[in-house]
Structure 1
Amino acid sequence: MSHLLHLISCFIRTLAVAFILAIVATVLFNLYLKFTLIEHDTDANTKVSTKYAYLIDPDNRFTIKELGEKLPSFTAVTPDKIPYQLSSQTVWLQLKLTNNTNQLQKLVLYADNSLLDTFNIYPLTSSGLQLFPLESQDSTINRLYPHIDLSLAAKESRTFILEIQTDGPPNVPVMVLAEEKFHHRLLYTQVIYGAFIGIVLLMALYNLVLYFAIKDSVYLIYIGYLISATLVLSSLTGFGYLIFSTDTQAFINKYLLFIDYYLVIFLLTFTLFFLRYHQQSKHTYRIGKLFCIALIGCSLYSLTLDTIAQTKLFFSLQPVVYLFALFLIIRRLRNDFSWAKYYVLSWFPLLAGAAIQPLVLLNYLSYSFITSNAFLFAVMAEVTLMAFALAERMRRHEQDRLSDITYHIASGLPRKSNIERFINQLSIQANQDFTVIVVRPEHIEKVALYIDDSMNTDLFQRLFIKLSSLFEFNDAIYPLTDKKEKLCFINNDSLIFILNNKRNKQSLETLVHSIQQVINENFEVDNIKLPLSAVIGAATYPQHGTKSHQLINHAILAANSGENTAIKWAIFQPESSDHANYLLKLTGELKQALENNQLNIYHQPQIDLRTLRVCSSECLLRWQHPKEGFIPPSVFIPIAEDMGLINQLTLWVIQQSLAQQAILSEEYGYNHMVSINISGKDIASKHFFKQCLDIIDASNIPADKIIFELTESASFAYNDHALKLIEELAELGVTISIDDFGTGYSTMSQISHLPFQELKVDREFVENVNDDNKRKIIAETTVKMAKGLGLEVVAEGINSQADEDTLRKFGCDIGQGYFYAKPMNLDDYIDWLKNLVNGRIKQPVQGEFIPASKE
């Protein structure tokens, strides 16, 4: 039924459009017939015979008196064959009129050219040529149509000599019409010009409103084009005398060709801006600007030339500009025709009118009412089509704006706003039962360390297509957009959809398994298939929230929880929300503790395994919460990373550690090194090096006494900025160490081409190294490979004499662990340094590290 109603609606709309087009076509056809009738007065031609002859005076030397002696030299011709040319010549016409009837004929002799410099009519009588011209009525209409009223008695013949001279358009159609037909012609031309002025005014106001609404300069440029087109046509048709004062119109006529340049400049500039070359193709836009600048220069140069030279220069440049504008249009058509179709169509009448009317004015085409006004008709058609084009552009602009809101620009995938709007619509309806489900590729945050934005976009576009195919015939999954897309892209790392629980015929577990299978088969980066699946979280309305942000956030929290399970998916549990709120609260308190210096630095010594002396201390951050008590770094460091506090936190640790190192050195004489932990997110900061340099300079601690222990080393290998920063730190003298080697993403092949000087073997492979043969082999191999690369090796997690002996045997340089000391605050560390315990002092052996004892 709905399909039938849609067909009927489409039929009615089509019928209405056809009816309107038929009316418009009928009006235009009738106007064409009227124009055809007024082109030639057939009644006057039958009743009054006309004979033409001409004489060209190229040097303007003849006077009317001298011409009386030259009458036999006139050449007989038909009106359309008079050889008008673009020059300063004077054309003399001999016109003989004969009344073939027995009645008085009232006629009008006129020239269809309002830019004449000279138009004089001299009667030829039986006594000879009259030496003074007939005087016409001095009026606006006479300036518009130079003419004179004549009367011919029955069977009377009269001959006239016409003196015509112009530096403007050379073609001067001279006509003889019945008085009534002449006034009809004036009426029609006034109606046409009035319609043109009305269209121009409406379009100018319309575009002015659009400019103030949208602030797009293309609308102001178009208004400039309309104004220049109006001035040009007002001069060409002479109708400017109807709207401007005589002196103003005379001034416009004088500088008509100068204005013509700016008509072309505005048209070219409008083309560049309308087709958005200023936004999308800077090179082409620059060429277009150079064209416009060149035209401005030519317009100023033309002011130094006479009218004939100006005309030749302009008409030689105009085709070049039109060809360049057509190139701009055709180039844009190759990309997208739909939004520019009306603008392209507007060029057809413009080019036709721009070609026809100059050819008529230059006497290369036959004169007619339609061809003589071709440019006026063309501009009217063009302005009308451009009104559609601007409306379409504005519609497309609005569509693009909405698309930017609802779709990601880079990927083209639906944004989060689509699902938020849809959830809000569903929640208004009664008895709704649906589940919001988030799908995130497993370990995508780690994978992101190796790929750029385009690869990440390609990955999610591929997953979007595959999951869309999986959901295509599943009616239980809601379409979220006008395009019936069922997935949205959120947080730059997840896809999300809504499941209608009432329509769903399969278990949630089955659906999740099928999604994970699709992700597993299509989780590829740079054509490398990764053996990973998907992490999925679900939140149900209304149990887990009634607002869109609640359901989406709870589904994300569920996915985070599911990542730590074997099945890799979970349904939201309110307890996890409480935990999330706790972490959020803790974030604010951590920031406050940082700002109020309520955090502490603890030192854990590092021992040279050859000299058994303290060679360094690792500075560790500790937080003693006033209410919660001790909060371990494993809790608050991830919070700092997720909430963007890690950079500020690291810089605070560096500053405090170096300040305490200065106390150890200057007050107590302990000159060993200080080791500070740095994260991958610190290295990614473009200001980190300068900030570190400022802190080091202020501390007076030599850079060669500082060790930076870096984590997430895999991310550095593919990050040019990180590599450059590490190299700058190394050049400064800072020792760069790889922390926790053997876990995470650090590999020996990556380390071999990274600028590190020290490697730290993770405690997992050091603690009780003698109790597990596999662990022992891994530790020994790691140490030997690192030594082979010329790296110092630190073993953390030494808890016994046996651990120390084994690591020393492997070739390890430095030891760290509870066998020597637990992390201590500064005062306890100073006491420890004064009273080394556990019998750690032996006879010193010459080593490469400076001992902790006073010098």
Structure 2
Amino acid sequence: MSKFYRQIKKVPVVLAITGIVIILSGFAVKWSSYNDLLSREKPEFINLNYEFARTTENLSSQELLNLKFKQLTLNTAKPKYGNHVDWHKITLTNTDSNATSLTIKFDNPMIDQLKVYAYRANINSYQLVKSLGDQVDNVNIEDRVSPKYSISLRSLESQSIVVASATHGSPKLPIIILTENEHQKYRQLELLIWGTFIGVSLLMAAYNLVLYQGVRDLTYLAYIGYVMTILVNLGVVHGYGFYLFLEPVQRYFHDNIIPLNALLALMTILFAINFLRFNRSHLLIHRQYTILSYSLLGFFVIALFLPEYLTVPVFGLLQLALYIVAYKMVTYNIKERFSWSKYYVISWLPLFVGAGVGFLLYTGYMAYNFWTRYAFLFSAIFEMTLISMALAERLGNTESQRLYQATHESKFGFANDGLLHKTIKNLQTDRRKSPLSLITVEITNYNTIAPYLTEQQLSTMIFGLANYIVNQLNKTLPVIEIDPGNLNNNSIALSRGDLLSILITTENRDLIGDALERLSDLENFNPVQGSIPYRIHCIFGAAILNPDETNLLDLINQAKQAITQAKEKDVSFFIYSPESNLISERRVKLALDLANAIRNDELELYHQPQLFSQSTHITPSELLIRWNHPLYGFISPDEFVTVAEETGLINHLTSWVINR
């Protein structure tokens, strides 16, 4: 991750959360002054009589006079999905001594058609005075966002209106009666809530887009899709979408609110899959969320072509399935994941509560008021706050995993050369205080043994050998911790499956030599008892830090060179020295120069005659090869022939001799 994105990820989430808390606190203070307004359905000086009726078709003004209504309390009529018309008869009486202007707010902008009929006593009939609804043309944007009807009442005057509502969507029609001044305050509060929610949503989307650009993790794209889908859904439910989108677009969203809810459910499950890092290895859960995802996608497409009232029951079942699968996903290995997923787990609580309140409200099982109306929006804000914290925790966990992968080998979890480098570098400041040496151990028959062992047996063998070596060294040499957090063995680095490294704080060659000699006696070590019989054979190397001449990071290479020297000399251990390094450098140069000498015909052949002792006749002749190196002078055949054998030049050398 680039430095820029490292800084972006370190943007204090606490500040964002603090900002949201301050905003919500401001709301709380503001709402406290509005408490009376938000807790009632009409002004105190207004007498209200509410009646309700339901028919299968529209009625004429004359038929409306004969319609039998049932006396109810305001906002308690049970909604019913389907093709029918709900009739709400409202009679208002002004008991105040002053005239007043009232606004009757119909708090469901998703209703397809709203017709307001006012009773005219002089003609004893109802007259259509206003048409509203998202399927009605020529409605101004304010009435689309917040459908309403205004009336004026003189002192002690009564007026009756009948509101006809018909829709294929949610039939619940909450009604609030406010004075003109109260309605303005109510609208200001609504706009404040909507603006805050829109701002928070867009901010979250932009922030996560920047994070995605930095880390290329699909989790952030899934979250952006989730946030934007919530924004659009609530824009339909609350009406503010008319401020964000062109009217035809918003009306299309109105017509397809159930498919949008299905899309939101799909985004929820996709975000959960990516956030919780589920993949095909989680067989049962993978199968369940795959089936659910395809079901939601299929339902989304089909629901675009069906009436809303037909799709609601099916979506209710899919939503229940979503909650069940989500519960299984969230609780799966919760103990292992909770350290970085706790905020995400907690975020489901406000989401469940808000969604549940919204469902109960619009199905008529919960009373309408300001708080139940905005329960899901408030829960979405709290959920976004918690998920932002969860994403920050997850990003930190991801970075920790990447750091772990960069500093540990994947098979056994030991520190690797990267962490060994880092440990040596950290010790650089302390090298004058204490000496430093590195011991390497190569299991020479690892590749022979490994194919015959299970993964568990192989792990047991490596951990058993590592612990044995560290315990033996600790008897005479102080071993340094390379990986303090490793519970299995914190003093071992593993370059590959068969090469272990141990740091010690000593520069005494005799002590190191004695320790390696004892370890080299290990012949029949077998930590996998009851398995196939085998013998572990190891070669040991060591390098001692010379503070005046040796770069600390060269220790690793020198210790590995010591292993190579031990093999060349056919000994069980070897301690690196500058002289041995010179020998190695000489052998590398001889190998390079020998190839050129063969190619350029720079070698010489001599005949060594063989004579019989009883005569002077020459019989056989032995060929002797000689090489006069331009830098090193005469090179013994034993030395350069050995180099030729080790480097594969021996065939070229043989051909040269035959040709000469």
TM-score range, shorter chain: 0.7 to 0.9
Q: Assess, with a 3 A threshold, how the Cα gap between structure 1 residues 597 and 366 changes in structure 2: closer, same or farther.
A: farther
Given that residues 225 and 266 in structure 1 are in contact (C-alpha distance below 8 angstroms), is that contact kept between their aligned partners in structure 2?
Answer: yes
Counterpart mapping for 1:247-262 below 5 A: 247-262=248-263
CA shift for structure 1 position 27: 5.4
User: Structure 1: which amino acid aligns with 2:464?
Assistant: R
1:425-467 CA distance string (max 9 Å, x none):
4335673542222142664447546645834443223344456
Q: Secondary structure at the match of 1:291?
A: helix
Q: Which residue number corresponds to residue 41 of structure 1?
A: 40
Given that residues 114 and 131 in structure 2 are in contact (C-alpha distance below 8 angstroms), is that contact kept between their aligned partners in structure 1?
Answer: no
Given that residues 75 and 173 in structure 2 are in contact (C-alpha distance below 8 angstroms), is that contact kept between their aligned partners in structure 1?
Answer: no
From 53, 59, 62, the counterpart of 2:59: 62
CA distance in 1: counterparts of 2:529 and 2:436, whole angstroms = 33
- Confirm or deny that 1:98 pairs with 2:93: yes
Q: Assess, with a 3 A threshold, how the Cα gap between structure 1 residues 363 and 473 changes in structure 2: closer, same or farther.
A: farther
Q: Secondary structure at the match of 1:171?
A: coil
Q: Which residue number corresponds to residue 131 of structure 1?
A: 127
Q: Secondary structure at the match of 2:425?
A: helix
Q: Secondary structure at the match of 2:163?
A: strand
- Confirm or deny that 1:524 pairs with 2:527: yes
Q: Which residue number corresponds to residue 219 of structure 1?
A: 220
Seq. identity, % = 22
TM-score (norm 2): 0.79
TM-score (norm 1): 0.62
Given that residues 443 and 536 in structure 2 are in contact (C-alpha distance below 8 angstroms), is that contact kept between their aligned partners in structure 1?
Answer: yes
Given that residues 523 and 533 in structure 1 are in contact (C-alpha distance below 8 angstroms), is that contact kept between their aligned partners in structure 2?
Answer: no
User: Structure 2: which amino acid aligns with 1:574?
Assistant: P
1:613-640 CA distance string (max 9 Å, x none):
xxxxxxxxxx998965756999458845
Given that residues 520 and 533 in structure 1 are in contact (C-alpha distance below 8 angstroms), is that contact kept between their aligned partners in structure 2?
Answer: yes
Given that residues 462 and 522 in structure 1 are in contact (C-alpha distance below 8 angstroms), is that contact kept between their aligned partners in structure 2?
Answer: no
Q: Which residue number corresponds to residue 497 of structure 2?
A: 492
CA distance in 2: counterparts of 1:157 and 1:297, whole angstroms = 53
Counterpart mapping for 1:604-753 below 5 A: 635=642, 639=646
Q: Which residue number corresponds to residue 585 of structure 2?
A: 581
1:251-296 CA distance string (max 9 Å, x none):
2212222222222222222222222223744775465444333322
Given that residues 102 and 151 in structure 2 are in contact (C-alpha distance below 8 angstroms), is that contact kept between their aligned partners in structure 1?
Answer: yes
CA shift for structure 1 position 114: 0.5
Q: Which residue number corresponds to residue 849 of structure 1?
A: none
User: Structure 1: which amino acid aligns with 2:405?
Assistant: D
Q: CA RMSD in A?
A: 4.4
User: Structure 2: which amino acid aligns with 1:458?
Assistant: T
Given that residues 441 and 494 in structure 1 are in contact (C-alpha distance below 8 angstroms), is that contact kept between their aligned partners in structure 2?
Answer: yes
Q: Assess, with a 3 A threshold, how the Cα gap between structure 1 residues 427 and 303 changes in structure 2: closer, same or farther.
A: closer
Q: Which residue number corresponds to residue 386 of structure 1?
A: 387
CA distance in 2: counterparts of 1:522 and 1:32, whole angstroms = 76
Counterpart mapping for 1:105-254 below 5 A: 105-127=100-122, 128-134=124-130, 139-254=140-255
CA distance in 2: counterparts of 1:595 and 1:264, whole angstroms = 74
Given that residues 90 and 163 in structure 1 are in contact (C-alpha distance below 8 angstroms), is that contact kept between their aligned partners in structure 2?
Answer: yes
CA distance in 2: counterparts of 1:327 and 1:441, whole angstroms = 46
Q: Which residue number corresponds to residue 89 of structure 1?
A: 84
CA distance in 1: counterparts of 2:595 and 2:355, whole angstroms = 71
CA distance in 2: counterparts of 1:120 and 1:474, whole angstroms = 95
Counterpart mapping for 1:214-363 below 5 A: 214-278=215-279, 280-281=281-282, 284-285=285-286, 288-333=289-334, 335-363=336-364
User: Structure 2: which amino acid aligns with 1:524?
Assistant: P
Q: Assess, with a 3 A threshold, how the Cα gap between structure 1 residues 490 and 596 changes in structure 2: closer, same or farther.
A: farther
Q: Assess, with a 3 A threshold, how the Cα gap between structure 1 residues 333 and 138 changes in structure 2: closer, same or farther.
A: same
CA shift for structure 1 position 30: 4.4
CA shift for structure 1 position 413: 0.6
Greater alpha carbon shift after TM alignment, 454-463 vs 218-227 = 454-463
CA distance in 2: counterparts of 1:459 and 1:397, whole angstroms = 31
User: Structure 2: which amino acid aligns with 1:67?
Assistant: L
- Confirm or deny that 1:542 pairs with 2:546: yes
From 542, 551, 555, the counterpart of 2:555: 551
Q: Secondary structure at the match of 2:306?
A: coil
User: Structure 2: which amino acid aligns with 1:76?
Assistant: Q
Given that residues 557 and 572 in structure 1 are in contact (C-alpha distance below 8 angstroms), is that contact kept between their aligned partners in structure 2?
Answer: yes
Counterpart mapping for 1:806-821 below 5 A: none
CA distance in 2: counterparts of 1:598 and 1:287, whole angstroms = 75
Q: Secondary structure at the match of 1:409?
A: coil
Given that residues 200 and 226 in structure 1 are in contact (C-alpha distance below 8 angstroms), is that contact kept between their aligned partners in structure 2?
Answer: yes
Q: Secondary structure at the match of 2:579?
A: helix
CA distance in 1: counterparts of 2:384 and 2:241, whole angstroms = 19
Alignment gaps of 5+ in structure 1 = 1-15, 600-622, 661-823, 829-855
Structure with the greater alpha carbon radius of gyration: 1
CA distance in 1: counterparts of 2:18 and 2:206, whole angstroms = 29
Given that residues 437 and 506 in structure 2 are in contact (C-alpha distance below 8 angstroms), is that contact kept between their aligned partners in structure 1?
Answer: no
Alignment gaps of 5+ in structure 2 = 1-14, 133-137, 604-624, 630-634
